Amino acid sequence: MVDYSVIGRRADAVRSREIVTGQALYCPDIRLPQMLVGKLLYSRLPCARITRLDVSEARKLPGVVTVLTSRDIPGENSYCYALPADQPLLVPDMVRYQGDALAAVAAESEEAAQAALDTIQVEYEPLEGVYDVLEAMQPGAHQVWSDRGNIVDHLVIDHGDIDLGFKQADLIIEHIYLTPLVEHAFMETEGAVAYRDADGTMVVYSSCQAPHRDRAQIARSLGLPENQVRVITPHIGGAFGGKDEAHVQIHAALLAQASGRPVKIIRSREESILTHVKRHPVIIRYRSGITRDGILTAVHAEAIGDTGPYLNAGRDVMNFVAATLSGPYFVPHARLESYTVFTNNPICGAMRGYGIPQASFACEAQMDLLARSINMDPLEIRLRNGLETGMLVPTGVTIREGRGMKVCLQEAAHLSGWKEHDKEDRKPAPHLRRGWGMASIWFSIGMGRNIPDHATATLEMTLDGSVILHTGAADMGQGAHTALAQMAAEAIGVKIEAVKVIGPDTDRTFDAGPSVASRQTFISGNAVLRAAQPIREALLQTASEITGLPLEILQLKQGLVLAEDELLSLTVSELAVKAMEQNRRLHADGYYAMEYPEPLPPNSYRYAPSVFTFGTQVAQVLVDIETGQVTLEKLVAVQDAGKVINPAGARGQVEGGVIMGLGYALMEELLVYRGSTQNLNLGSYLIPTAKDVPGLVVKLMEIPEPYAPYGAKGLGEPPLTPTAPAILNAVVDAIGIPLYRIPLTPERILAAIEAHHAENPPNGD
C-alpha cells in the first residue's frame, strides 16, 4: 500500500472561507461602474411564426440603451454545442419552444429593461406544433423543422445474434418504462457579466461549466478572434449539466459590444426553468431473455427521447442511453437502440448522468422483475450476471477494470443486511408496507472515443516553496479544484496549504475542457501529475547536488526533504532558490488526453467509452397504501471511486447524488401541457429538502483504475444513478405490484394499487 500524505486525507475546500463569510462573488454579485441590466424577451409560445417584430418604440424609452434582434448580431446567430448549430441566439422568424429569445435589451435599471420588453411589439401566427413524442414520430406529424424530419437520430448498437439470444432463453419478459422531464434547479440561476476592456478585449464573467467553449462561442457570434475574448468563471452556484451549453453569456457580450458599457444578465427563476435544457423524458421498451438459472441470454431495448426542438446535446445523451441500456451485466446478444426526436417541448440535453440515469432505471427495474419471474433473489441475479474485468460489452469494448461491480454489490448487500430483511417488520401498521430494493449501475467516465477529451494544467513553484495551480476546469461545487490541489501537493511533495488554485480565466489558464462526464478528476488530474513531475524532479535533482546523496533515496513529502526516512535540514524554499540559480525550471504545463490503447472491433459503437465505475444502492421504504405516500427510511450507497482523493468531498458527491436521485424517484417532474411548462418555480417544482432525506450510509470502494491519476475516477454523476431504481424496486417489494414509471407520486401509487385490485379481486369479497 502506497503511503500518501495529502490525497485521501482531509483538506479544506478551496475558497470555503470566502463562501462561509459571504465574500464569495457569484455572477449576480458582480457590480461594475456604469453597468447596465440586460434582459431577454422570450416567446412564451411553443410554436409560432413571427409575423412582426418591432423594437423601434422600445429603443426610444428613457433608460433603454440598446435593443438587439437577430438582425443586429455581427457574427453567427446561433449556439453551437453540437452541429448543425440550429438554435438561434435571437430567433428571426420562427419560435420552436417557449424559451426561444426574440430580442435582447440593455437598460439603466431593471424597471427600464422590463419596460422595454413590454414595449416590443410582436405578432405571431400560432402554429399547431407537436408535443407528444410518439405522435412526432408518425408520418404526417407536424414537422418541427421543414427539412430535417422529427426523428433526428436513430442509433442501433448490435451485438452478437439477437435472435439466437432469445432462442436460448427459457423466459422472455418485456415491459415499457417511463422517466420524467427533469429540471436541474441549481440554486444560482444562469448569469453573466460582460464588458469591453480598454484594449478592446471582451471580458465575460460566466456561470458556466465550459469556459473555453464559451470563449469560442462568444467570439464566433461577436465576430471577434478568440484572443479578443476573455471568459472568467467567478463562483458558480451549481450547474449539474445545465450550464454546459451557453445560456446568456453570448447575449451579455453582444449587448456590451453594442452599448459600449458593462452588461449583466441574470435569469429569474422562472426564466431559468423556461429556457435551459432539461433531462430527457424517455420511453424505454425493454425485452430480456433469461434462463431458468437466471442467466441473461439477450436484451433488446429501444429508448425514445423527446429532445425538444434543437439538437443541443440531445443526440449525444440519447446515444449514451443506448450504450448503457444493457446495464452492468454480461449480455451475450444485444440490440440497443435510441431515437432522438424533435418536438416543441422544452429542449433536453445535459443533466447529471447524461442519459445513464434513464437507461439504468429501465435496466434495474427490469432486473428485479426478471428475478421475480424465476423466484430468484435480486442480489443473486445481479451476482450471476455482473460484469467483470475482461468481459466484452455490446459497444465492442472489453472492460478494463470491472471488479467494482461485484465488490460494490456485495458490500451494499452486507451493509444493508440484505439477507436479514425478511425478519424485519414488513407491515408495521395495517396501512403501512415496508420493502427493500437494490440497483446496480455502470457509469462511463469521460466523453467517449472520437470526442475531444483533454486538459492542460499549469503548476508554478515560487521561491518560498508555495505553489500556484492554474486550471481551466470549472468548479461548480463538485470540488474539482480541491481534488486537483491535493493531487498537485502530493505529486510535488508539499502540504495542501502550500497550493493555491487559480480557476478558469481564458487569458490565464489553458483549456481543460468542460466540467462534465465526471471527467476532471481523471483528465485534469492526469494533467496536474504531468505538470508536477518536472518540478519535483528539478527540486530533487537540486537536493542531490546540495547533499551529495543519490537521487533515488531522496524524497519530498509535505514540504519536507527526506533521505529514505531521515529528515534533512533542507527546506523546499532553499531547494527552489538553488534550483532557480541552476537555471532549472520550476513551472510546467501538463497535458493529458484520454487514452484508448485497446483496438475496437469493426462496426463497434463509435463513441464507446472504456473507463467505467460501478455502484450499488439499497433502499428501504415505507409505503402508506391509503395515501400512496412513499417514505425513504434508509439508503445504503456503495460506490467505486478508484481512489478517494478527498474523503469529505467524495462523501458529499455521493450524498448529493443520492438526494438528487431521491427527487427523481419520488417527486420531480416538469409538467408540460402542449409545450407550455406548468411548474415554473421552486414552489411547484419540488426538490428534496432536509426533511426528505433519511439516514444515508455511504461507502466508497477503492479499486484503482488503469491510466487514472492515483487510480482515481469520477464521482460527480454516478451516485445519482442507482437511487431511483433502488427506490422503485423497494416500493414494488413493499406493495407487491410492479411499477414502471417515476416519479412515484402518491397518485401513481394509489392508481397502481387500485388497478391491481380491479384486476385481482381479493378472494371471498
Partner 1 sequence: MNEIEIHLAVNGIPRTIQSEPGCTLLEVLRDKLGLTGTKEGCGAGDCGACVVVMDGQAVNACLVLAAQAEGTQIITVEGLAQDGNLHPLQSYFAEKWALQCGFCTPGMLMSCYALLLNNPNPNPEEIRDAISGNLCRCGSYQSVVEAVLATVKFSQEARGG
Residues that bind partner 1 (CB under 8 A): 12-13, 16-26, 28-29, 31, 184-189, 235-240, 268-269, 476-479, 648-649, 651-652, 655-660, 681-683, 687-691, 693, 696
Nearer to partner 1, 485 or 532 (CB): 485
Q: How far is the CB of 512 from partner 1 (least distance, A)?
A: 18
- Sequence-distant contacts of 108-114: CB under 8 A, at least 24 apart: 108/36, 108/37, 108/63, 108/64, 108/65, 109/37, 109/63, 110/37, 111/63, 112/37, 112/61, 112/62, 112/63, 112/64, 113/36, 113/37, 113/38, 113/39, 113/64, 114/39
Q: How far is the CB of 5 from partner 1 (least distance, A)?
A: 20
Q: Is-contact 720 657, C-beta < 8 A?
A: yes
Q: Is-contact 243 313, C-beta < 8 A?
A: no
Nearer to partner 1, 19 or 171 (CB): 19
Cα 292 to Cα 416: distance, rounded to the nearest angstrom: 27
Q: How far is the CB of 571 from partner 1 (least distance, A)?
A: 28
Q: How far is the CB of 688 from partner 1 (least distance, A)?
A: 7
Listed in order, strand segments (DSSP E) in 291-431 are 296-308, 334-342
Cα 611 to Cα 512: distance, rounded to the nearest angstrom: 19
Q: How far is the CB of 681 from partner 1 (least distance, A)?
A: 6
Nearer to partner 1, 393 or 720 (CB): 720
Cα 614 to Cα 611: distance, rounded to the nearest angstrom: 10
For 423, other C-beta atoms within 10 Å of its C-beta total 8
For 754, other C-beta atoms within 10 Å of its C-beta total 11
Provide the terminal-to-terminal Cα distance of the chain, rounded to the nearest Å: 66
Q: How far is the CB of 234 from partner 1 (least distance, A)?
A: 11
Nearer to partner 1, 193 or 554 (CB): 193
Q: Is-contact 684 678, C-beta < 8 A?
A: yes
Nearer to partner 1, 18 or 388 (CB): 18
Q: DSSP letters along 154-221, please?
A: EEEEEES-HHHHHHT-SEEEEEEEE---B----SSPPEEEEEE-TTS-EEEEE--S-HHHHHHHHHHH
Q: Which residues contact 21 (CB under 8 A, 6 or more apart)?
A: none
- Residues making up the chain, counted from first to last: 765
Cα 245 to Cα 347: distance, rounded to the nearest angstrom: 12
Q: How far is the CB of 534 from partner 1 (least distance, A)?
A: 32
Q: How far is the CB of 750 from partner 1 (least distance, A)?
A: 25
Nearer to partner 1, 21 or 375 (CB): 21
Q: How far is the CB of 640 from partner 1 (least distance, A)?
A: 20
Nearer to partner 1, 549 or 648 (CB): 648
Nearer to partner 1, 184 or 495 (CB): 184
H-run or E-run covering 102 = strand 101-107
Nearer to partner 1, 26 or 707 (CB): 26
Nearer to partner 1, 271 or 453 (CB): 271
Nearer to partner 1, 25 or 156 (CB): 25
β 630-640/695-701 pair status: parallel
Q: How far is the CB of 114 from partner 1 (least distance, A)?
A: 13
Q: How far is the CB of 649 from partner 1 (least distance, A)?
A: 6
Nearer to partner 1, 176 or 187 (CB): 187
Nearer to partner 1, 23 or 138 (CB): 23
Nearer to partner 1, 572 or 698 (CB): 698
What residue type is 613 in one-letter code? T
Q: Is 761 exposed, middle or buried (0-12, 13-18, 19+ CB in 10 A)?
A: exposed
H-run or E-run covering 607 = none
Cell numbers describing residue 72: 443586429
Q: How far is the CB of 17 from partner 1 (least distance, A)?
A: 6
Cα 326 to Cα 444: distance, rounded to the nearest angstrom: 13
Q: How far is the CB of 425 from partner 1 (least distance, A)?
A: 22
Nearer to partner 1, 27 or 367 (CB): 27
DSSP 482: H
List C-alpha distances in Å: 439 to 289, 308, 364: 19, 30, 6
Q: How far is the CB of 652 from partner 1 (least distance, A)?
A: 5
Cα 177 to Cα 739: distance, rounded to the nearest angstrom: 9
HSE toward the beta carbon, residue 164, CA cutoff 13 A: 7
Question: If you search the block for the grid coordinates 481551466, which residue do you land on?
Answer: 472
* Residue whose C-alpha is closest to residue 179's, from 743, 749, 579, 751: 743
Q: How far is the CB of 177 from partner 1 (least distance, A)?
A: 25
